[in-house]
Copies of this chain bind each other. A is one copy, B any other.
Amino acid sequence: MLKTTIDMDRAAVVLKLLGDRTRLTMMKILENNDCCVCEFVEIFEASQPSISQHIRKLRDIGLVKEERRGQWIFYSINTENEYYPFVQHVLAQLPSQDHKLKELEEKGTRISCC
């Protein structure tokens, strides 16, 4: 059986990153969707730099990856990441946050991009 366990130090680092309302919800949304920054800005009613800085932390340890599509940069879960299985287990315990994206669509407040 090849079971790779995450070591405690790395696990603590990952959990600390997930231990923030905004980042945790971001990750849960990204579980099922690709998103660009502007969507998160709307969902969290936060400033663009604040959102970018949260994403940067997730990206710095490889939890998410980016893909430019024209003017926009879409983020998604990096399933290749060594921590992915661990993160997946944690996220699986949380209630879906997909309704937050749906609300944007319905309100029509979604910016041009998405």
Contact = CB atoms under 8 A, between A and B. Distances in A.
Copy count, this protein chain: 2
Contacts of A94: 5-6, 8, 11
A80 interface: no
Report, as a range, how many residues of chain A touch the other chain.
Answer: 20 to 34
Interface stretch (A13-21, A50-58, A60-68): A13-21
Interface string A72-95: 000000000000011001101111
A24 interface: yes
Interface in A1-50: 5-9, 11-21, 24-25, 28
Interface of A: 5-9, 11-21, 24-25, 28, 85-86, 89-90, 92-95, 97
